[in-house]
Amino acid sequence: MKHLQMLPIALCVLLVPIVHGQWNRYYTQAPQARYTPMVRTAQRVALRHSFETDGTPAPSTVRPRPPAPPTNAPSQLPALTPDNDAKISQLVVDFMMRISRTLPQQQSRTELFSPLSIITVANLLFLGSGGSTHEEFGKVLTPSSMNWKRMHQRYGNVLANLMSPEPIDSRRDQWRRQTCPRDDDYEDGEGGPAPKSQVIRVANGIFYQKDLPMRQQYVMLARSLYGALIQPIDPQASAASTALINRWVSDVTAGKIRNMLEGPLSPSSSVVIANALYFKAKWKTQFEPLVTRDAPFFPDGLDGPSYRVKMMSMSGCLPFYRVRDSLDTTIVGLPYRDDTSTMYLIQPANSSRTAIRRLQATLTGKMLDSWISQMKLQSTMVRLPKMHLRNSVDLLQSFQKLGFNSILSPAKSDLSNMIDSSSSAGPKPYVNQILHKLDLTIDEEGTEGAAATSALVDRIGSQRQFNGNAPFLIYLRHDATGLPLFYGPIFDPR
């Protein structure tokens, strides 16, 4: 059976305290993605956020009582009511598209990232901002006809739905309402539905210098809206603080990421804001391990040079759509067993690095949703490389291009709703690093006999085809909420 695992990580260094929170939805244990901002200021704070829908308390400054040390057990599920909101999901998809246009590098192997991970950290910064910094965040992160307070509450509701074992699904794209001609193309066995196997884990952590004057209002809202865990750290014991944060990251990701921070933290780093996202699931239609073989991959088109990759093959009844306009693009969906998430593969005709760049420049969130809404279940053959991809990118320039400028400046940054720096004569808290890291593995599991393999090969003359022997886009979406978990182009799957 095929598994998809992705692990984004980001680091951001600011002069502010850090909050950490954790939301878990899982059927089996698993690790995954991470995003960590670090902040510079006098001290660090760690807070634990529970989900509440109460009104916003009056702002005040407190020095929070140190919480109990973090444990390996997941935080209690948030109390927010799981719900969907089309404006919130559209906001995240639009944010995804804007971020993707800031990342292109000339010879990158992949520019895969987690939109959900990055925007969650941005929202935690937005929540603690004031003045012009708050206005800059609001222009990008607040949907039209929705105020910023309502946005945070609705975002929390949608995230709670993402974590729900039985998420509300108000979207139900056309292909999900159709019946496959052959049920055995979807199921691995007979006699009822397969046991649930999908794992989605989202965690937010804020680690702050223990004497940092955190705003009580921020602590309460981060806990209630984002389920954040807040943990104070000792600025005089930087090696121990680094070990604590790395241990938390390792626990959340089931050991996939053991050294989130390299080397001791600087005494000037007052806050580390970390987000971890982990996803693991089994395909509804499996790839056949015995059919996987070496095949050429053409990064610059079929007329250019190639290299050998392990190419997997499968044939089944899958959602498929061909865009017949000037874009001439194919999109195929690979659903997961739990029927709440799908990995969409998107590829222009005669694909190459240049063709993908042209598609990225044109593609919008609304276009992508329109294509998915027109997909229909069809007999489809898919060839896809086995992949273990890693990506690391500093998002400072991306934030600047999005219009988040003042928070990156010691002179202009305003995080006064997170930290009370009025009594300090030092520099203002600001963000000086935003590092996003991701690890994606797509591999096979299980065995099939020669007869089954032969039958699969016989079916490769399918009506529709997706041939992943040239660059393509990956769009992994939680269909029930419409939230994008991972997105980006694949130029080199080795």
Q: Residue 25: inside a domain, yes or no?
A: no
- Within this chain, do residues 246 and 154 fall inside the same structural domain, yes or no? yes
To the nearest 10 degrees (0 to 180), the angle between helices 148-163 and 131-141 is: 50
Please classify residue 344 by burial: count the beta carbons closer than 10 Å to its beta carbon, then call 0-12 exposed, 13-18 middle and 19+ buried.
buried
Answer yes or no: do 402 and 381 share one domain. Answer: no
Could you tell me if 270 and 299 lie in one domain? no
217 and 345 belong to one structural domain: no
Alpha carbon distances (Å) from 165 to 77, 198, 335: 11, 10, 17
Q: What is the pLDDT of residues 224-257, one digit of tens each?
A: 899 888 888 887 888 888 888 888 877 877 777 7
Q: Are residues 481 and 346 in the same domain?
A: yes
- Are 205 and 243 members of one domain? yes
pLDDT at 394: 82
Of 363, 348, 378, 404, nearest to 487 by C-alpha is: 363
Lowest-confidence pick of 19-23, 306-310, 312-316, 483-487: 19-23
CA-based diameter of the chain, in Å?
Answer: 76
What pLDDT is stored for residue 183 in this prediction?
A: 47
Residue 366 binned pLDDT confidence (cut-offs 50, 70, 90): very high
Do 355 and 423 share a structural domain?
A: no
**Residues 325, 398: one domain?**
no
Rounded to the nearest 10 degrees, what angle do helices 115-127 and 148-163 cross at? 140
Q: Give, in order, the Cα–Cα distances in Å from 282 to each of 301, 342, 343, 444.
A: 31, 11, 11, 10
Q: Is the pLDDT of residue 47 over 70?
A: no
Number of domains in the chain: 2
Q: CA-to-CA distance for 262 and 492, rounded, in angstroms?
A: 27
Helices (H) and strands (E) in the chain, counts: 10, 19
Could you give the CA distance from residue 144 to residue 366 in angstroms, rounded to a whole number?
A: 15
Q: CATH number for the domain including 421?
A: 3.30.497.10
Task: Say if CB 448 and CB 289 are below 8 A apart.
Answer: yes
In this structure, is residue 50 part of a structural domain?
Answer: no
Same-domain pairing of 220 and 349: no
Residues 337 and 331: their CA atoms lie apart, in Å, by 19
Q: Which helix (H) or strand (E) holds 149?
A: helix 148-163
pTM of the model: 0.82
Q: Give dist(CA 442, CA 475) in Å, integer.
A: 14
Question: Which amino acid would we find at residue 323?
Answer: V
CA–CA distance from 329 to each of 225, 326, 373, 395, 437 (Å)?
A: 39, 9, 15, 29, 29
Final residue belonging to a domain, choices 422, 439, 456 = 439
pLDDT digits (tens, 9 = 90+) for 262-292: 777 777 777 888 888 888 888 988 898 888 9
At 379-400, the pLDDT tens digits run 999 999 999 888 878 888 999 9
CA 111 to chain centre: 13
Output the pLDDT for position 65.
43
Range of the domain at 214: 86-168+199-280+389-439
In this predicted structure, what is the pLDDT of residue 13? 32
Q: pLDDT digit string (tens) for 292-344?
A: 999 999 999 999 999 999 999 999 999 999 998 889 999 999 999 888 999 99
Among left, alpha and beta (phi > 0; psi -120 to 50; other), residue 188 is alpha
CATH number of the domain enclosing 347: 2.30.39.10
Judge whether 266 lies within some domain: yes
Per-residue pLDDT of 147-158, as tens digits, reads: 999 999 999 999
Mean pLDDT score of the chain: 77
